[in-house]
Structures are given as structure tokens and as C-alpha cells.
Amino acid sequence: MIVSKEKIIVALDVETAEKAREIVAELRGEVGAFKIGLQLFTAAGASFVREVVADGIKIFLDVKFHDIPNTVAKASVEVARLGVWMFNIHVLGGAEMMRKTVDNVREVCEKENLAQPKIIGVTVLTSSNQETLRQAGIEREINAQVLRLARLSAKCGLDGVVASPHEVKAIRRKIGNEDFLIITPGIRGQKSGIWNLESGTKDDQKRVMTPAEAISAGSDYLVIGRPIVQAEDKISAVRRILQEIESI
């Protein structure tokens, strides 16, 4: 069973490596891992990822690769060489892309004696709603689309998926594998300052839940950014979230 604090992944959605270092230094004993997304990865580069990994920090590299199979597989091998704990690829890249990525990463990790990172599939972004899908020519309901992509991820050997908390229960039922990880962004606390559900979220996330609701639904890990990173007292914000989780 995953310890409560290990379930929290703090999103380092900041502009500079310096700011990210400050957050990591403050919260490293309070949470399980940190997420480096496209903004920070573009600004600080692979060298920053190596730096924090070398310092013993678990990193979820949120780069959402989506390209031809060969390109994604080769890029994913380089991610594995960075020593990250977890990274993600878009399921809509297709079965061939996912299988090739899984096979190449496994082969290189075994050959070079590297720790094999978790490979996670991105289903439907939590910033998307039904209209977003329709604009892209997808008429299927969001829940059905997420389930379809989650099943495909499992078939192709991925370790889990990223999905909104609203689809977690259905994914758990359909996949039927307790080891299949569900990573959940779109987390907003009832008492987390301006980023809460009582006053309405003031950001681009559309399909959201509280930490307790998401864990109750079956999420393994919660990716939380603004409610923690933009809090005046980040440690207190984390501990409030942990209290919510542990009250279940």
C-alpha cells in the first residue's frame, strides 16, 4: 500500500530551475515526488533533471511524447537514461508507438543496468471537456474515450495512465489490475485558498475533484501544482491535503 505522502506529486510548473530548487528543498520530505513539465524542462533542460535525480528526488517527467513510433521510442530511451521515476506518452500516438517505446526502454534498461521508469499513457487532458473532443472530431463521450485509451494502454504494456478523477472508478473496473497505475491531475482542495471547489476553480482545469474524492475513487497518485506551489505556506498546504486523504 502506498503511504499517503507518497501519493502526492508536486508539479514544478515554474519558470526557472532556481525557483524549482527552492520548492524541492522545502517539500522534499513532505511529498513523494515532483513533476517536471514542458515549461521547466524547456527552460532548464535535461541537466536540471539529472541534477535533482542525482540528489535522490523522484521525478515524473511530464513531456507527453506524441510522434512517430521510432522518434518517441528513441526519445523515451534518453528519458530513461536521465534516471527519472516516471514519464508519459500520448495514447493517441497508437499501439505501435506504445509497444515500441515499452520494448526499447526495457531493452536499454536491461542492457545498461538502469532502473526502468514507469511509462504512463495520457488519455484525455483534464483541461478538456466534451466540446474540446467534438472540435477535434471525436464524438465519443469523454468517459468512453478515456476507457478505450486506458484499455489500449494496458494491452500495449504501459504501467498506467493519466486520467481525470472522474474516470478513475471506471478505469479500475475495466482494467481489473491493481498494479495498473492511475495518476490523477485536476486536484483542487475544499480549503486550499483560491484554488478550491467551493469558490470555483480559477484556472484551466475542467474535470476536477478534491484529494479525498480522487483517492476514494482509486487514484494511486495525485499531481498537484497550483494549490501547493502558489500557497503562501506550502508545507501547510501539503499537510492539509494529507489530512483530507487520511480522513477517508
Structural domain spans, the chain: 4-246
> pLDDT tens digits for the chain (248 residues)?
566 899 999 999 999 999 999 999 999 999 999 999 999 999 999 999 999 999 999 999 999 999 999 999 999 999 999 999 999 999 999 999 999 999 999 999 999 999 999 999 999 988 889 999 999 999 999 999 999 999 999 999 999 999 888 899 999 999 989 899 999 997 766 544 434 544 444 444 445 688 888 999 999 999 999 999 999 999 999 999 998 888 87
* Known catalytic membership, residue 118: no
Whole-angstrom CA distances from 143 to 93, 126, 133, 219 are 19, 12, 11, 16
Q: Which of 5, 19, 64, 169 is catalytic?
A: 64
Q: Which CATH number is 4-246's, of 3.50.50.60, 3.40.1190.10, 3.40.30.10, 3.20.20.70?
A: 3.20.20.70
Within the chain, what is the greatest distance between any pair of CA atoms?
Answer: 52
> In sequence order, which residues have a C-beta less than 8 Å from that of residue 146 and are 6 or more positions away?
123, 124, 163, 164, 167, 170, 171
Q: What is the pTM of this model?
A: 0.90
